[in-house]
Amino acid sequence: MSFPDPKLVCRNVWKLFGADARSWLEAGGTAADGEGMAAAGLVGAVRDVNLEVREGEIFVIMGLSGSGKSTLVRCLSRLIEPTSGEILFKGENLLAASSQRMIEIRRHLMGMVFQHFALLPHLSVLDNVAFPLDIQGMGRAGREARAREVIDLVGLAGREDAFPRQLSGGQQQRVGIARSLAVEPEIWFLDEPFSALDPLIRREMQDEFMRLQSVLRKTIVFITHDFDEAIRLADRIAIMKDGVIVQAGTPEEIVLKPATDYVSEFTRNVTRAKVVRAESLMTAGGSEDAGPKVDARATIAEAAPLFLDGASQLGVTGADGAVIGTLHRDAVVSLMLKG
């Protein structure tokens, strides 16, 4: 199976807080040298991280509070300066870029959404969304036309003249998402964007996010501490602990083949049917009259209700809609009985 080329590559990236951190690394300090790091008065927020984010995928970085995930995403955009390493965006090493070059990259190529919406209270929805285009120097007519497009895209058409105080939390977050999309970014960073929302609104925003991604196919780095959210949204997941990525892979790989005891404990209560895809449980081959159809990327939890009408098997379809396999009822029941 071939994969898209990486849009963002992170190589041996460190972020240490404390005096002379770079000198300590250059003198041979390592992630394993925790005692030496502490003796030097340093805190390892990000330790020797390597990852690749592919074109058009949702790459989720997750971990508990203090694991380093938010620091890492800020290093990727150089909102925080890494201590050492390489961060390649479209082949360009961002750590070698000038401050002015980074400003241009953030203005034109990167979108960012954070947990706190940071809307400007004295500006309307339209002006909040158009604000980054104003910073770019775009004329009023052009920026308002683009702002209206993305406001409609996130489902807020008709609220252009409202002010943030007149919106619900979910609506405010939609404005934040629209504002970040206004510049048509090539990569999109989202740092726990839904964690401040009530559970029902959070679920609705996840649905909205997936709808947007099906339309836009953005390259996305998404930060969360919620594993249910991660497996629902992610193409791939990286789990962080104490500044280190302890495992990276698809949701299925993370849940079914945990690399460490920490990952195993992290995923212990995850329902397998929410993670395993139809393509992983199917038998190859099948015919168009194999029964009801289900997309290969659908989870078993999504496919299972199709058996309620008495079907013994489902036809599994690929990206082109053709049947590529058969999903048998017995295999689904066996998986679900395992939890």
Which sign, positive or negative, has the C-alpha torsion 212, 213, 219, 223?
A: positive
Query: What length does the chain have?
Result: 339
More confident residue, 4 or 176: 176
| Alpha-helical regions (H) of the chain | 21-26, 34-39, 69-76, 99-108, 125-136, 140-153, 169-181, 199-216, 227-233, 251-256, 261-266, 278-281, 300-303, 329-337
* Spatial contact of 82 and 138, defined as CB atoms under 8 Å apart: no
Query: What is the chain's percent helix, strand, coil content, to nearest 5?
Result: 40, 25, 35
pLDDT tens digits for range 328-339: 999 999 888 875
DSSP state of 5: P
Helix axes 140-153, 125-136, angle to 10 degrees: 130
Task: Report the pLDDT value the prediction gives residue 106, as an integer from 0 to 100.
Answer: 92
* Spatial contact of 46 and 14, defined as CB atoms under 8 Å apart: yes
Over 90: is that where the pLDDT of 261 sits?
yes
pLDDT class for 142, splitting at 50, 70, 90? very high
* Spatial contact of 303 and 278, defined as CB atoms under 8 Å apart: yes
Q: How far apart are CA 89 and CA 105, in angstroms?
A: 10
Q: How far apart are CA 280 and CA 252, in angstroms?
A: 9
Q: How far apart are CA 48 and CA 99, in angstroms?
A: 24
Dump the DSSP string for 307-339: GTTS-SEEEEE-TTS-EEEEEEHHHHHHHHHT-
Q: How far apart are CA 243 and CA 227, in angstroms?
A: 18
pLDDT tens digits for range 213-246: 888 899 999 999 888 889 889 999 999 999 999 9
- Count each helix (H run) and each strand (E run) in the chain, helices first: 14, 14
Task: Report the pLDDT value the prediction gives residue 162, as an integer from 0 to 100.
Answer: 95
Range with the poorest average pLDDT among 74-83, 168-177, 285-294: 285-294
Task: Report the pLDDT value the prediction gives residue 2, as an integer from 0 to 100.
Answer: 54
Mean pLDDT of 276-298: 84
Which position has the token pair 């972020």? 15
Task: Report the pLDDT value the prediction gives residue 35, as an integer from 0 to 100.
Answer: 74
Mind listing the domains of the chain with CATH numbers? 55-84+98-272 (3.40.50.300), 274-337 (3.10.580.10)
Mean pLDDT of 151-161: 92
Over 70: is that where the pLDDT of 1 sits?
no
Task: Report the pLDDT value the prediction gives residue 175, as an integer from 0 to 100.
Answer: 93
Task: Report the pLDDT value the prediction gives residue 33, as an integer from 0 to 100.
Answer: 59
Q: How far apart are CA 58 and CA 53, in angstroms?
A: 8
Which position has the token pair 């800020």? 74
Predicted model pTM: 0.85
**Residues with Cβ within 8 Å of residue 49, at least 6 apart in sequence:** 10, 12, 13, 14, 72, 85, 243, 244, 245
* Spatial contact of 139 and 219, defined as CB atoms under 8 Å apart: no
Task: Report the pLDDT value the prediction gives residue 86, as an integer from 0 to 100.
Answer: 95
Mean pLDDT of 292-302: 88
